[in-house]
Each structure stands twice: as C-alpha cells, then as structure tokens.
C-alpha cells in the first residue's frame, strides 16, 4: 500500500532527527551542553550593569589608579571614611577575614577603599587606616569634584552631617560593596552585613569563572 506524501515526509523528518540524535550520542555531544551553567552568587548579580564600570583616582601614594591596574584579581570596592564609627571598620575587618580565609588565593583579592571624606582623609591617615586591616588594601582619594562625579557614576550616596565643631562632622554614605571579576567587569553588589562566608564563596566562584 503506497504511503501518502505527507506521511512519507514526516517519516523522513523523524528518521533524520533520529540520525542526528544518534550521531550526537556517538560523538558524546549533549544537545543541552551548549552553554556552561551560570554561577550562583550570594550577593546581587549585576553582571552587565551600565554603571560603576571604572574610575581614575589617586591612591595614598599619589599614583593614578584604574581597574586595569588590578587585572587578574577579584576587586571589592567600598566607599567610606576613616572616622566612620561602625560600618567602615566592620566592612574592612570582614574583608581582611575574607582574604585570610581564601588561603593561597588571598593575593588574588584586591580591596579598594574610596574615601567620601577627602578633607580629613589625608594620604597619611589612610595609609595608617588601611594598614590597620591589611597592608595590601588600597585607599583612593578623590578631590571634591572627583568624588561628586564618581559617586554619581557608581550611584552611591554621601552627605556631610555637621557636628558640634567644624571638624567633628560625620558622613552618611552608602554601605554596599561593588565586586569585579578578574577581567575588571562589574559582577556583584554586596550589601552591608552579609557576612564573611558568603563573600568568600562569591570570590571563589569569580576566581573559577
């Protein structure tokens, strides 16, 4: 009995599909293996964000720094100031612990501290401040105009809060950290208070990816 034309075409398609599937199985090719699984992070994944992509600021030694200087390392960038009573020292302490817990990969982590109080945070002050947590941490000191520009680019908040004397003021500021992969791409937004272990896990994941 002759096979109808439409049924004959359907059989050809099925046979062809079976042939391709058989060939893929023979060659050990998984049809769903076209892309690697996306890494899972504890911090907020902001890969592809169109802000906070780079900076050009002087460090405490007067050397101009950009993200390109730290290629090959996971970079964690935080905005703060040396006289901060709680958030800043807590974050820096946690990052020192993260670096320690990374063991042999600790030197592949670079912490950057951008001061929001350049009037009081002199190079000498910030060298001592970074040294209190880890000598490898780098402080960046913008001018007042640079601070306004970089804060806008990074979408961070800072505001001077007057004290009892002209020099006893405090600074309100955003408390999150920006995390970059080893190629200098912005990947994560780490909220304050997330803890050491989640950050260690995220840094390890970025080092592997």
Residue-level pLDDT at 209: 84
Dump pLDDT digits (tens) for 113-168: 999 999 999 999 999 999 999 999 999 999 999 999 999 999 999 999 999 999 89
197: annotated binding-site residue? no
Instruction: Give residues with Cβ within 8 angstroms of 146, minimum separation 6.
Output: 57
Determine, yes or no, domain membership for 122: yes
Phi, psi of 152 (to 5 degrees): -65, -45
Determine, yes or no, domain membership for 196: yes
Determine, yes or no, domain membership for 27: no
For position 156, which CATH number holds? 3.40.30.10
Q: Please state, as a whole number, how many other Cβ atoms lie within 10 Å of the Cβ of residue 144.
A: 9
Residue 101 near residue 129, CB atoms below 8 Å: no
Domain residues for the domain of 144 are 77-207
34: annotated binding-site residue? no
Determine, yes or no, domain membership for 32: no
Q: Is the pTM of this model over 0.85?
A: no
173: annotated binding-site residue? yes
> 3-class DSSP state for residue 204?
helix
């Amino acid at each position: 009995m002759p096979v109808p034309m439409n049924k004959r075409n359907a059989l050809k398609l099925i046979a062809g599909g079976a042939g391709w599937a058989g060939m893929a199985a023979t060659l050990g090719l998984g049809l769903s293996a076209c892309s690697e699984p996306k890494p899972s992070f504890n911090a907020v994944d902001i890969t592809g964000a169109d802000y906070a992509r780079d900076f050009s600021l002087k460090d405490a030694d007067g050397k101009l720094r950009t993200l390109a200087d730290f290629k090959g390392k996971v970079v964690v960038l935080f905005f703060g100031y040396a006289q901060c009573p709680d958030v800043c020292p807590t974050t820096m302490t946690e990052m020192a612990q993260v670096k320690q817990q990374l063991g042999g990969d600790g030197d592949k982590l670079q912490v950057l501290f951008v001061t929001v109080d350049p009037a009081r945070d002199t190079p000498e002050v910030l060298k001592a401040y970074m040294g209190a947590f880890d000598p490898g941490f780098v402080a960046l000191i913008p001018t007042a105009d640079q601070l306004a520009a970089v804060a806008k680019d990074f979408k961070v908040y800072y505001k001077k809060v007057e004290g009892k004397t002209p020099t006893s003021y405090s600074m309100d500021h955003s408390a999150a950290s920006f995390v970059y992969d080893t190629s200098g791409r912005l990947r994560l937004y780490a909220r304050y208070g997330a803890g050491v272990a989640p950050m260690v896990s995220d840094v390890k994941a970025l080092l592997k990816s």
